Amino acid sequence: MAATTYVGKSTRRVDGRAKVTGEAKYAAEYNTPGLTYGYVISSDVAKGKITKIDASNALALDGVLQVFTHENAPRPAYFDRPFKDQDSVGGSPFRPLYSDEIKFSMQPIGLVVADSFEVARYAASLIKVEYKAEEPVTNLRAKPKGHKAKSGKTGFVPPKDRGKPDKAFKNADVQVEAEYFHMPEHHNPMEMFASTVVMEEDGKLKIYDKTQGAVNSHTYVTKVFGLSKDDVRVMNQFVGGGFGSGLRPQYQLYLAVMAALELKRSVRVVLTRQQMFSFGHRPGTLQTISLGASSDGMLQAVKHEALAETSQFEEYTETVVNWSGMLYHCDNVKLGYYLRNLDLYTPLDMRAPGAVTGIGAFEVAIDELAYKVGIDPLEFRLKNYAETNEFEGKPFSSKELRACYAQGAARFGWAKRNPKPRSTREGTKLIGWGVATGMWDAQQQKSAAKANLSIDGKLVVGSSTADIGTGTYTAMSLIAAETLGLPLDDVTFKLGDTTLPEAPLEGGSWTVASVGSAVKEACQAVAEKVFKLAKDVKGSPLSGASFDEVEFVEGKVQLKGDYSSGVSIVEAMRQGKVNFIEEETTTLPNMLKQMQYARNTHSAVFVEVEVDEDLGQICVRRVVSAIAGGRVISPKTARSQIIGGVVWGISMALHEESVLDHHYGRFMNHNLAEYHVSVNADIHDIDVIFVEEHDDIVNPLGAKGLGEIGIVGTAAAVCNAIYHATGKRVRELPITLDKLL
């Protein structure tokens, strides 16, 4: 159809103004008359039983409406038939206020509801709780082995051995074998987790929830509380970051709805930053990687085993080791994935779950192997390039990773690299360059969208997807504007509302591919109707044309490339006496076609660090991240996604240190003062390259998704650069300065 007018051209964020002026409202910012405020009481112990809760002092306070605990809270039917949300895992989901049992530190054990937040918070401090505490087990490393993962999401099960990995490793000319470890990481989106439940006059609930999926929260609330679909509406029009933490309904949603139904009042519950460290996190993993290569640098054996944590009640799984069977060509591969139950909350997907940690360790091991063989680490990767996805046994739908290596290396200046570690210095600073590969999925999910074109030429498109800062509003507006050839200002995209057509969770980097395809299809259906009207316009130059022969440009439908044949969309609707055209579509992936291919994004990350020889301080001076992610729809927000991922990769490599006190079973530094994330002063040059990649398999747009690939490989490239700078190989994240001294 139409020539490219918008897609692939940089534009401002269509929601930018609303976000910077405060016009955009978040879950905890919606007010309603008679609103009450809930404050969550968190357990002081990580394991054991509550023996006594005395809330009398709290209940005696003016303004306190109720204190809910396991002793008096309602017991919805779901307590005995646990509901599984769209991102749930094997096992039994956590049910707030279910019993006296404590399964993790800071478990919510009560909710105070008062007529102001301050009173609720103060009242919570007066509640006396007694426990019979038990010693928690929270140390992943205390015992070497876990159990084989049994259930959980598809994709976690590592494939069977390929070739003869043990023998190939033993006989390899060059071997490396090492253990890698990283602690949990915490999502920390800027917006606090919050739910404002508005009890409407007819008893229906309007819920403003901080979530990556309004539909997921909606289904959760209706199923858990036995409400009908029409009694609940969930909205999340703006979300202040997610990173995966909003993929599952969080406990504040349950508590706010429970209290609203019990008290027949509107209730808001906001978690504190400390409490946000008490739910899902990126799990810590302990990994062992053994690699073998021939003396000329051909990879001959890959063995990768990971031990990851899960809670006592659910089995969270990730594809930590799977990537090691597809990043490079190798005939002999052995992968193992084990879990250990700890007295912590169930881990939760965090940006590129599994890939960040698995590829993170593997790409360091590959670097070690390249050094041991004596080949440049980039050359080693090119030498062992995987032409097909050997894990899935399929060709790639597209894979322009070679272009990533080439363009990234050229931009970075890799050819000038002195291969010797500790060979470059500027005064007291050691300079190092490192490279790593990244890989992620390119998925498409079933999505629906609705497009409404009115006679004033304004187009409104909607889908119940989310924009967690990723640029959904902008990307969808661009797709819609282009499909109907309308000025961007005449297009409004609506999301974050369960009254709109159903969309999947915003996660997995699939939103543009999935919702974008639905938006395109809905707009195309409108375009076909417009075309019919345009053909019927008196003396229409399009009367003999077919839909394939026309394009939509600047508010007109015209024969391709023939400006003089244009019929105005508004005029066609006016003459056809049509006030609006509305089309709703549900778009499914073409599985038959897609299943024949492995569909992945790739990246090459180049990093320059300087390390202070005396103090061990590390600074990441430059990053070049070259991405093969298919067609780029919205360059500005796409670039921002990659930059955000790179920043987080640096943060993971150097700053984010979660400290678990194994006696208390608690994350001790559960605040942003002590849990460090990279800040502005830590971040310097980040250069993003999108290489050309054409793909007509992945989805009708050819876009692969960019939300996650930016973080994959970045931490490994930082580690590798630190080795090159210092000659010191660190296999435990974060690389704090003490590890270099």
353 near ligand MOS (CB under 6 A): yes
- The beta-carbon contacts of 258-261 under 8 Å, at least 24 apart in sequence, are 258/68, 258/73, 258/74, 258/76, 258/96, 258/97, 258/111, 258/225, 259/36, 259/38, 259/66, 259/68, 259/111, 259/113, 259/197, 260/197, 260/199, 260/205, 261/74, 261/225
Q: Which helix (H) or strand (E) holds 69?
A: strand 64-69
Annotation says 708 is catalytic: yes
**Could you tell me how many residues of this chain bind ligand MOS (CB under 6 A)?**
11
From residue 294, alpha-carbon distances to 373, 374, 381 in Å are 8, 11, 14
Cβ closest to ligand MOS, residue 508 vs residue 713 = 508
Is the bond leading into 734 cis (omega within 30 degrees of zero)? yes
Cβ closest to ligand MOS, residue 97 vs residue 215 = 215
**Sign of the CA dihedral with 337 first, then 343, 344, and 346 last:** positive
Q: Least distance in Å: CB of 505 to ligand MOS? A: 7
Cβ closest to ligand MOS, residue 247 vs residue 259 = 247
508 near ligand MOS (CB under 6 A): yes
48 near ligand MOS (CB under 6 A): no
242 near ligand MOS (CB under 6 A): yes
Cβ closest to ligand MOS, residue 185 vs residue 482 = 185
| Binders in 320-349 for ligand MOS, by CB under 6 A | 349
Binding ligand MOS (rule: CB under 6 A), the pick from 184, 240, 354, 507 is: 507
516 near ligand MOS (CB under 6 A): no
Among the listed ranges 25-33, 155-163, 238-246, 389-397, the one in contact with ligand MOS (CB under 6 A) is 238-246
Among the listed ranges 142-150, 243-251, 324-332, 630-638, the one in contact with ligand MOS (CB under 6 A) is 243-251
Q: Are 437 and 604 in contact (CB under 8 A)?
A: yes
The catalytic position among 363, 549, 708, 732 is 708
Among the listed ranges 8-16, 33-41, 304-312, 350-358, the one in contact with ligand MOS (CB under 6 A) is 350-358
CA 316/CA 322 separation, integer angstroms: 16
Binding ligand MOS (rule: CB under 6 A), the pick from 69, 107, 212, 324 is: 212
Cβ neighbour number for residue 144 with a 10 Å cutoff: 10
End-to-end CA distance of the chain: 61
Q: Least distance in Å: CB of 243 to ligand MOS? A: 6
**Sign of the CA dihedral with 232 first, then 238, 242, and 244 last:** positive
**What strand order describes the sheet that includes 232-235?**
64-69, 108-114, 36-42, 267-270, 194-199, 205-209, 232-235
Per-residue x/- mask for ligand MOS, residues 65 to 104, rule CB under 6 A? ----------------------------------------
281 near ligand MOS (CB under 6 A): no
Q: Least distance in Å: CB of 507 to ligand MOS? A: 3
CA 513/CA 491 separation, integer angstroms: 20
CA 136/CA 663 separation, integer angstroms: 7
282 near ligand MOS (CB under 6 A): no
Q: Least distance in Å: CB of 348 to ligand MOS? A: 8
Q: What does the angle CA 40 – CA 44 – CA 50 come to, to the nearest 5 degrees?
A: 85
Q: Are 398 and 694 in contact (CB under 8 A)?
A: yes
Instruction: At 365, list the tokens.
Output: 């091991």
Q: Least distance in Å: CB of 272 to ligand MOS? A: 22
280 near ligand MOS (CB under 6 A): no
Q: Least distance in Å: CB of 707 to ligand MOS? A: 7
644 near ligand MOS (CB under 6 A): no
CA 716/CA 107 separation, integer angstroms: 34
Cβ closest to ligand MOS, residue 213 vs residue 434 = 213
Instruction: At 16, list the tokens.
Output: 């930018």
Binding ligand MOS (rule: CB under 6 A), the pick from 110, 244, 566, 734 is: 244
368 near ligand MOS (CB under 6 A): no
350 near ligand MOS (CB under 6 A): yes
Q: Least distance in Å: CB of 414 to ligand MOS? A: 31
Q: Least distance in Å: CB of 397 to ligand MOS? A: 20
Instruction: At 634, list the tokens.
Output: 């919205």
Cβ closest to ligand MOS, residue 38 vs residue 705 = 705
Q: Are 53 and 69 in contact (CB under 8 A)?
A: yes
Give the position of tokens 């270099």. 740
Binding ligand MOS (rule: CB under 6 A), the pick from 55, 247, 320, 534 is: 247
Q: Least distance in Å: CB of 193 to ligand MOS? A: 14
From residue 670, alpha-carbon distances to 231, 277, 384, 675 in Å are 37, 6, 42, 6
One-letter identity of residue 694: H
Instruction: At 299, list the tokens.
Output: 């990879």
Give the position of tokens 């253990």. 179
462 near ligand MOS (CB under 6 A): no
Cβ closest to ligand MOS, residue 437 vs residue 445 = 445
Q: Least distance in Å: CB of 349 to ligand MOS? A: 4
639 near ligand MOS (CB under 6 A): no
Cβ closest to ligand MOS, residue 85 vs residue 349 = 349
351 near ligand MOS (CB under 6 A): yes
SS (H, E, C) 161-181: CECCHHHHHHHCCEEEEEEEE
Cβ closest to ligand MOS, residue 630 vs residue 707 = 707
184 near ligand MOS (CB under 6 A): no
Cβ closest to ligand MOS, residue 189 vs residue 566 = 189
Interface residues with ligand MOS (CB under 6 A) are: 212, 242-244, 247, 349-351, 353, 507-508
Q: Catalytic amino acids?
A: 708
